[in-house]
Amino acid sequence: MPITYDMMKRTTAQLYEWSLRKVPDDTLDALRRARETETNTVAQRTLGILLRSAEMAETQDRLVCSDSGVPTYTIAIGTGVRLEGDIRRAIEDGFDELVATTNPPLLKHVTNPLTNERGYRGKDMPLVTWDIVDGADHVDITCQPKALGSGRWAALEIFTFPTLERIEEYVMECVLKAGSQHCPPVNIGVGIGGSFDHCAKMAAKATLRQYGTTNPEPVLAAMEERLLRAVNATGFGPMGTGGDTTALGVHIEYCAGHGFTPVAVAFNCWINRRTRARLYGDGRLERVE
């Protein structure tokens, strides 16, 4: 059976709605662990407030943050899947319907960059990254409402045959620049290599990885570990008012490139908003996170 317009419309809207109310479990666990090890009293309390806010949102069906961001999706289509109808339009229509019906209503965050006018619709919204998965019999959909409180601190620079030292130094420069601003403790995604656009996508994709996962490449696994310690040695702390917990994880993705190597750094705020589900041809929706 095909995956239809209606299924895509419903699923993408649902994922968005869920992501505004539920802090992912790996993130809650990481916040709890951080609260146990924090040595700064204000930071410990702040982590407690964040956890309380997350709990209230989940149990009382409320928004964690008033900034519901702009809708972004990463969609991987299995080659065993048949699609029917206007799948791209389904995502747009799903967001329109969500805006019209969701309770409480969402604030207008979709911004026309030429006029700074804000609304619910805009050119190319929702933002979608498409991918193909060989052999899979489902469509894998990740929703990541993106707000610029943390998103605006993302950065990319292209280096000439950089050493690992230079790459790490650049990540730390970005961390220092963001300082107290990005609603820490953050999830840091780093992309190394590829092209300009591909590198930025890798950094964004890296922020989707669960806390506790490491890159299978030993060089990068070690880099993730030492960079996390380095970031937390800066002392910005939860909500940037001081403490040991500035980041809960550093996730790095890489790919081959040309030697003129882009390095991209992206940040997710403490809420680490993301939901993910698999949609099967028989209509089954499997919630992954």
Residue among 191 and 237 whose Cβ is closer to another protein? 237
Which SS3 state, helix, strand or coil, does residue 254 take? strand
Q: Tokens 């040695």 label which residue?
A: 233
* Secondary structure element (H or E) that encloses residue 95, with its range: helix 87-101
Residue of 75, 101, 85 lying closest to 11 (CA atoms): 75
Q: How far is the CB of 287 from another protein (least distance, A)?
A: 22
Which SS3 state, helix, strand or coil, does residue 61 take? coil
29 binds another protein (CB under 8 A): no
Stretch that binds another protein, among 69-77, 129-137, 168-176, 252-260 (CB under 8 A): 168-176
> What is each CA distance from 99 to 13, 68, 139, in whole angstroms?
9, 11, 24
| Alpha carbons 122 and 104: distance in angstroms, whole number | 21
Q: How far is the CB of 228 from another protein (least distance, A)?
A: 11
Residue among 2 and 119 whose Cβ is closer to another protein? 119
Stretch that binds another protein, among 5-13, 60-68, 88-96, 197-205 (CB under 8 A): 60-68
Residue among 226 and 258 whose Cβ is closer to another protein? 226
Q: How many residues at the interface with another protein, by CB under 8 A?
A: 57
Q: How far is the CB of 73 from another protein (least distance, A)?
A: 21
67 binds another protein (CB under 8 A): yes
For the chain, helix (H) and strand (E) counts, in that order, are: 8, 13
Q: How far is the CB of 32 from another protein (least distance, A)?
A: 16
Residue among 26 and 67 whose Cβ is closer to another protein? 67
| Contact positions with another protein (CB under 8 A) in 184-243 | 218-219, 222-223, 225-227, 229-230, 233-237, 239-242
Q: Which two three-digit tokens encode residue 251?
A: 């996730």
| Alpha carbons 74 and 180: distance in angstroms, whole number | 29
Q: How far is the CB of 161 from another protein (least distance, A)?
A: 17
CA torsion 193→196→197→200, rounded to 10°?
60
Burial class (CB in 10 A: 0-12, 13-18, 19+), 102: middle
105 binds another protein (CB under 8 A): yes
Burial class (CB in 10 A: 0-12, 13-18, 19+), 54: buried
Residue among 53 and 195 whose Cβ is closer to another protein? 53
181 binds another protein (CB under 8 A): yes
166 binds another protein (CB under 8 A): no
| Contact positions with another protein (CB under 8 A) in 111-150 | 118, 149
CA–chain centroid gap for 34, Å, is: 20
Residue of 17, 201, 193 lying closest to 95 (CA atoms): 17
Residue of 161, 193, 159, 160 lying closest to 173 (CA atoms): 159
| Alpha carbons 20 and 66: distance in angstroms, whole number | 9
| Contact positions with another protein (CB under 8 A) in 267-286 | 269-271
Residue among 42 and 156 whose Cβ is closer to another protein? 42
Residues that bind another protein (CB under 8 A): 42, 45-46, 49-50, 52-54, 56-57, 60, 62-67, 104-108, 118, 149, 152, 164-165, 168-169, 172, 176, 179-183, 218-219, 222-223, 225-227, 229-230, 233-237, 239-242, 269-271
